[in-house]
Every structure is written in C-alpha cells, then in structure tokens.
Structure 1
C-alpha cells in the first residue's frame, strides 16, 4: 500500500488514539499491563512509518487526565513502562532523526517519569525529521482551560487587549502552539469517539476508525488510513466546485 500513497498529499500532522490494549490482553487471558507492554511495537511501527513517508508531526494519546482514575497498579505500571520505553527507544529516535515533544501537564507526572521525558526531549531537540508528540496527562478540556487562564492573566497584566483575542491568539496559548492542527485522526479498537482529545485542534480533522486493537496495529494499517484520507474531499465549509477550481 505504501506505493499507492501520494507523497504530495500527505497529512502534515497525524494524531492517534491508541485504544484496545486492555481488551487485547483480556483476549490473551493476561493482565491489562501485558497489553500495554505489547503495544510498544505498534508505537515503533507507526513512528517509523510516519518518518519514512515524511509526515511532519505524529501525536500519540498516551495518558489522559482521566486515566488517573484507573486502578493504581495499572497507572503505576504504565508510568514505569513509559520510563523504560523512552530509555529503550531513544536510539531509534536518534537514528531516524526524530525529535520528541510532549503536551499535557507534566507537573503531575511522577518525578522519574518527568525527568526521563524531559531528558529525552532535550537529547532529541536538534533532530529535524518527524516531530513525535506524546500527549501525557492531557485532555482537550484541560488544554482549553489552561489557555483561558493564561489569556486572562495576560489581559489582567495589560499585555493583551480583550478585543484583540481571536482564533489565532487562542491557538497560540494552547499546548500545541507551533504545531500544525492534525489533519488525520486514527482511533483503533472500533470505538468511535474522540475522548477529550485535541478538542479545539480537531475542528476539521479527518477521522479514521479501525477495529484493529492497538497492539496489532502495523505500518500497513497506517498506510490504509492515509490512503483513506487521500480519498476524501476536504472542503472546509466550501462546496466541491470551489475546492476543485
């Protein structure tokens, strides 16, 4: 399928809701953390696939603000797994010229997780290829709330006038400032919702839902999603005749 992809019509930014790890593990008669561990290959496949194609940004929804409500053992296991994965995958990021970034409230992450994440971000900061963005302790509502508070603080300080606030100003206060809005969202496991992810940024995102559970997701599934994206007409409120002029 890779040969069928039009390299002149790639989504600049792909976002992924990595869903189905727990169900995958349950099918194997194993604990949920087993599913999370076996999802690392999918992360590697999609990251390297995007880098090979020349996609600019890839955002992975790794841990939402709501995920803290999961069983403590699972949350602890996820954080430990994240530390180990960042350490193990750093050479791959460097080899593929990938820079690591994160969105979300890092302050609430465990100290070791935060330190490892920030170290990897710094070590890959000069890489010029794919931007890999981990959404950690992130939610769309959190993002809009923190942006609103920051704007309010700047209005109070007199550095911004309320009448100057427009969509571009708001976008500049979001955690994704400086990145393209996602043009393609992929969600695995058959669920069809966006789960509080990039609410502002996905106003015109094309969505691709697949029944494939995340640990089974591979390059060919990524290529399938991109081909589906390339087969759609993106009108942004216009009509077909205007788009195809």
Structure 2
C-alpha cells in the first residue's frame, strides 16, 4: 500500500471557476518500473483479484481526505470526490458493506463521495447493477456515470439507474467546433438536465473549451485547463488559495 499513491484532479464549477470537487486517481510507484498509471496496472489487478482491495483502499483514503477538505472549507458548499469502481467491486455483495463502513468512518456530507462507473460496466448486468446502485444511493453515496457517449445506450435508457451525475467523454468535448459535435454535446447536456442529472465534461484543455461548455449549459469540467492530478497537500493548498481570494 505504501507503493500506491492517490492523486486528485480538480473538477471545476464553470459558473465561477471555483473547485467543485476532485477525481481520485491511483498511481502505482513500482520499485523497479517507476510510477505506473491505472491503464498500466488495473488489468493486472483485475486478473489477480487485487482490484477489490485496491478499490477499497482508494475509496477509504479518498473519503478520509474529503472529510478533511470539507472541515477546512466549512463556509462553502461541500466539495465532492469521485472514486472509480471496477466490475469486480460492483459484482461483490460486500461492496454495500464496504461503502457503509467507509461512510461511517469519514462523516462526509451526504452524496459527496461519488462512486464513478462506466456505461459498459453497468450494462454487463443491468438488473444487478440497478439493484446495487439503488442501495448505494440509499447509503448516502453519490453515483456518477463515466465516459458517457462511448457505449451504445441512450441516456433515456440509463435513467433506470439512479445516477446523479454524468461525465461526458473527452472525445465529445475536445475540438467541439468541428462538425456536429456541438449539437451532440448540447443535446446530451439538455437531456441529462431533463433527467435531473448534473454534467461534468471531461478533457477540457483550453479556456475556450470552458467558455463554450458553460454556454452549452454544462455545470462542471475536468481537464488540464484546470489542473493536472496532484497530491492531497497540493489540493489543500489550491482550496486554501481559493478561499483566501474569495475573502479578499
């Protein structure tokens, strides 16, 4: 566990460019291979079964960190943190127990620890997923649908699952001025709002991306325009700087 580092990438509120939350991203500091990204080690963790322990470790560490941030930033709307969930985790009935344990330890604001999962993961077993997600929401965790637009499901079909947030895949966000992408982006955002969901756009790389997304009605954006993944101390410094600027 000492080899696993958790970095946090800011998710910005486009209305006022304040930090709304963070996505937790695991990195493996391998003694011989150096720092490895999830794309390099998640498949190994899935195959060996270590993904369950890794997922629980990241969820617990992130919830504890989120509680620290929320206590430090009491004067504002509680920030949230998103944690990725794997298929192995979702298929385990112990996931409910794990989430209950994590939430009871950390005392974060209801709905602010968001479990993030992909459309393809949910569609592996829709009936089981719908039951599990309903129970997760009841416990007080938020639910975020990741990489929307890369699968084959319509958002209307996905309303059967109790997601409160969708994250639009970066392939729809980058270079939005070309072709039909702005039309698709606007329609996804509008439909998500009709279904009562917030929208996070992934892959915002420039200020013009942020301006355009806000004009389309998107609440949140994540990408290198707003900050690369950082450690918990750097994230706290960022939040503190923002609080001081707001007070001045």
For Structure 1 versus Structure 2, the TM-score category normalised by the shorter chain is 0.3 to 0.5
Q: Which has the higher contact order (CA 8 A, sep 6+)?
A: 1
- TM norm structure 2: 0.44
Higher strand share: 2
Higher Rg: 1
- TM norm structure 1: 0.45
